[in-house]
Amino acid sequence: MASVGIIGSGTWGTALGILLYGNGHQVEIWSAFDSEAEALRSTRLHPNLGEVKIPKEIGITTDLKSAMEEKDLLVLAVPSVFARETARKMKPWLKKGQLITNVAKGIEEDTLMTLSQQIEEELPEAEVTVLSGPSHAEEVSRGLPTTCVAGAHKKETAEYVQSLFMSQVFRVYTSPDMQGIEVGGALKNVIALAAGIADGLGFGDNTKAALITRGIAEITRLGMAMGGKMETFAGLTGIGDLIVTCASMHSRNRRAGILIGQGLSMEEAMKEVKMVVEGVYSAKAALALSKKYNVSMPIVEQVNAVLFDSVSAREAVTELMLRDRRAENSGLVWEQE
């Protein structure tokens, strides 16, 4: 049995806390808000996880020191925009060599750093890992079969994280490609916004398939330029995560995109979804990275145009469809020119 502190009481942190408790581990969840912690303690229900009960044995606290002390693993489960700030708050109680698994997805807009890079910068004495994949909290909390990938710098560390999370309903693979895992996890949210916008415009399955397929092409091009591996983008944290985020109504990014496609502004859509829409925060970073690494990302460009430049969703789709003609894969060779 391991002792685990979940730093963040959103749907994903809570769902993973329930999973880890079910695996026989001691779990304590930290919330940044007194009112939220009190509601979770008294009702044992998370407002965004339906009727799934939080076991009474899971501790819920607003004391960050308590959530971190004597823990074998800390799971950092705050929204990506708060990752650096939260890591900074954790510093006074961090023990040397503390194992931290980041489970959020995003790229920092100002620095273009992945979340693990931000955490390592703020907490250089920690051993930072990632857990990612096609995994909606709503389904994990209910024990529906799910697969993820544990990424780490060292094989034995990834295998330890794998052993803590693995269960009959939660299968975990390991990978050394932390960069690829995090790039895939962050950028799929941007493509999911595009997929939602297409849904909101009333487009069909053909459009969705095109966005998913060309979206993973964009993600792979950029991810490999940044040092990620092609195999990662063909796996669970690449195409797998992209499919589930573009197709499911559990996806807050897709839901926000639908509202934007129906005519709402980005601010109005985020207010309606009532949860952090990570793709909005990652879109500018994705565009900046495409320019930094000189990688063509037309879908990302058009998502940014809709979100921040007052371009209509329908106009953005037309722009994508009327791009210059080209081959699908420039690496393939013709038998005859």
How many Cβ atoms are within 10 Å of 117's Cβ, its own excluded? 18
Per the CB < 8 A criterion, the answer to whether 129 and 119 are in contact is no
Partner residues linked to 59 by β-bridges: 28
Partner residues linked to 61 by β-bridges: 30
Instruction: State the catalytic residues.
Output: 188
How far apart are alpha carbons 291 and 117 in whole angstroms? 20
Helix axes 115-122, 178-200, angle to 10 degrees: 130
Per the CB < 8 A criterion, the answer to whether 37 and 8 are in contact is no
Contacts of 24 (CB under 8 A, 6+ apart): 1
Contacts of 113 (CB under 8 A, 6+ apart): 107, 121
Residues in the chain: 337
* Pair type for strands 146-151 and 127-132: antiparallel
How far apart are alpha carbons 252 and 76 in whole angstroms? 20
